[in-house]
């Protein structure tokens, strides 16, 4: 009779001990991320009966203001700084993203990798009237959370959440989603997909002269094949924005690659 309560007590004590260790590691950069994702999060999921992404959404619904995108972002950032690390673009790199969106004033934006909807909220709140954002997410659970996040932020009319693999959806964008060309693309999905999806976007005629590709996690964990391509191709003009990995002190950055079209002068790299 006492076995179940004792097991629950033991699991709870173990969870508290792991949480204490996690807090102690928090300033150790990538170590805390590995610990969080591989050890702490699976255990916490088991103890709570929920996923990290569900907990982030619940925190937003409880602490943010409905219809206020900035409060949604602030709630996500607070949760990820104070409780659980998550792979959003985050507030620091998010400020770089804000600047790019405000400079470009895009009418049609494509996001590859929605996760919990943080970056979709971040971009959509700055889009000019009549602009739209399409975000492609492979994981249906993440896509559902993204939709709820957008609904709560009051941005659902500006954003279309598409569930599927990027390499399958991109060729459908022109006919199925009435896209001519894209003004901006935010890449934040699997890093080994950055290059093939960039090539596919060009092959499908979705890039025009001036289309901006903004790629996250260029330094950590990195996307070396994508970087090698855009930095040496005559089709792109590149700028690296260094920053830190979301909710940590690990060095990271965003790569801005402006499509200048085929047959253009040799590429240049801004630092």
- Of 52, 77, 217, 256, the active-site residue reads 217
Task: Assess whether 139 carries a catalytic annotation.
Answer: no
Task: Assess whether 246 carries a catalytic annotation.
Answer: yes
Query: How far does Cα 262 stand from its chain's mean position?
Result: 29
The residue assigned the tokens 């690390």 is: 85
d(CA 76, CA 230): 32
Overall residue count recorded for the chain in this entry: 271
Task: Assess whether 217 carries a catalytic annotation.
Answer: yes
- Of 216, 237, 252, 255, the active-site residue reads 216
Task: Give the angle subtended at the CA of 99 by the CAs of 226 and 60, to the nearest 5°.
Answer: 90
Task: Assess whether 84 carries a catalytic annotation.
Answer: no
Provide CB contacts within 8 A for 81, sequence distance 6+.
Answer: 247
Query: How far does Cα 144 stand from its chain's mean position?
Result: 15
- Of 84, 137, 183, 188, the active-site residue reads 188
- Of 191, 197, 252, 255, the active-site residue reads 191
DSSP secondary structure letters along 174-212: HHHS--S-EEEEEE-S-GGGHHHHHHHHHHTT-EEEEEE
Q: Are 44 and 14 in contact (CB under 8 A)?
A: no
Q: Are 170 and 201 in contact (CB under 8 A)?
A: yes
Q: Are 210 and 258 in contact (CB under 8 A)?
A: yes
Structural tokens at position 217: 């996690």
- Of 77, 246, 252, 255, the active-site residue reads 246
Q: Are 142 and 88 in contact (CB under 8 A)?
A: no
Task: Assess whether 188 carries a catalytic annotation.
Answer: yes
Closest by CA to 117, choosing from 86, 82, 83, 78, is: 86
Catalytic sites, residue numbers: 188, 191, 216-217, 246
């Amino acid at each position: 009779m006492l076995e179940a309560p004792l097991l629950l007590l033991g699991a709870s004590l173990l969870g508290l001990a792991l949480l204490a260790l996690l807090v102690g590691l928090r300033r150790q950069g990538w170590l805390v991320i590995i610990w969080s994702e591989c050890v702490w999060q699976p255990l916490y999921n088991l103890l709570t009966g929920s996923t990290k992404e569900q907990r982030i959404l619940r925190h937003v619904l409880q602490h943010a203001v409905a219809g206020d995108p900035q409060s949604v972002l602030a709630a996500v950032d607070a949760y990820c700084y104070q409780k659980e690390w998550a792979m959003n673009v985050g507030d620091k790199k998010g400020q770089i993203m804000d600047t790019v969106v405000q400079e470009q004033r895009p009418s049609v934006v494509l996001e590859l990798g929605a996760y919990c909807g943080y970056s979709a909220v971040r971009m959509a709140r700055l889009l000019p009237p009549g602009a739209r954002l399409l975000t492609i997410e492979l994981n249906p659970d993440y896509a559902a959370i993204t939709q709820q996040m957008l609904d709560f932020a009051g941005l659902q009319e500006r954003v279309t959440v598409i569930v599927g693999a990027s390499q399958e959806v991109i060729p459908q964008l022109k006919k199925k989603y009435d896209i001519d060309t894209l003004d901006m693309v935010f890449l934040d999905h699997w890093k080994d997909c950055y290059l093939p999806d960039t090539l596919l976007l060009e092959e499908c005629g979705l890039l025009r002269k001036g289309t901006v590709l903004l790629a996250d996690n260029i330094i950590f964990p990195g996307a070396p094949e994508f970087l090698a391509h855009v930095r040496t191709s005559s089709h792109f003009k590149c700028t690296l924005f260094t920053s830190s990995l979301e909710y940590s002190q690990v060095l990271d950055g965003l790569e801005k690659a402006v499509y200048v079209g085929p047959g253009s002068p040799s590429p240049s790299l801004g630092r």
